[in-house]
Amino acid sequence: MNLDEGASHEINSRWPEYKQRNTALIPGMYGESYYSNMVAGIQLIRDRHKQLEDSGDTIWSIPQSLTDTLDDLAGI
């Protein structure tokens, strides 16, 4: 998977697009912790994307520790 597809998959597999939209419209809709965890998780994924992009990588990869953190944030 390329960088953009991989990052999108990481986000959408944990926080579905409809919940992202609903949360953008009504931040507390799913609870304050859902909102803050989603925002934190998306930022971590964006940071990873930038890190890979800056190092010249074109293929998405993610360390297990980050996967675990994202799963924790998403409540998986």
Query: Can you give the pLDDT at residue 36?
Result: 94
Range of the domain at 23: 3-74
- Domain tally for the chain? 1
Give the pair of three-digit tokens for residue 30: 């799913």
- HSE at residue 3, side-chain half, CA atoms within 13 A, is 14
Taking the mean position of all CA atoms in its chain, how far away is CA 7? 7
| pTM of the full structure | 0.91
Dihedral angle at the C-alpha atoms of 67, 52, 59, 62, nearest 10 degrees? -10
> Mean of the pLDDT values across residues 7-32?
94
Query: Can you give the pLDDT at residue 75?
Result: 93
> Mean of the pLDDT values across residues 50-67?
97
User: What are the residues facing 2 on neighbouring strands?
Assistant: 59
Rounded Cα–Cα distance for residues 45 and 62 (Å):
9
